[in-house]
Amino acid sequence: MKKYELMYILKPTLDPEALKNQINDLNNVITSQGGNIIEFKEMGLKDLAYEINKFKKGYYVWILAELSNDGIAEFKRVIRITENVIRNIEVNVGA
């Protein structure tokens, strides 16, 4: 298992309940693939450096997790097809 820093930005138009459900769904993708969430931070609503899909703000979430190769592939697949995610990045930070 490798450590990854995962960060994604959710649409700012989500209501608090939908936001919570979306974050839980994405966290469940990690744990259902045998991954382990080491650290988790909801950074909140912040201004974007540039406009993305006509949004000037976004809700930032940062996760440090241990995932297998199959786990990170599944997370990338799910996050790509999730409509509420406007931007994401995954960085391998070592073993």
Give per-residue pLDDT as tens, 26-74: 999 999 999 999 999 999 999 999 999 999 999 999 999 999 999 999 9
**Domain coordinates in residue numbering, the chain:** 2-94
Q: Which CATH architecture has domain 2-94?
A: 2-Layer Sandwich (3.30)
pLDDT for res 95: 60
From CA 63, how far away is CA 17, in angstroms rounded?
20
DSSP string computed for 31-72 = HHTT-EEEEEEEEEEEEEEEEETTEEEEEEEEEEEEE-HHHH
Q: pTM here?
A: 0.91
pLDDT for res 94: 74
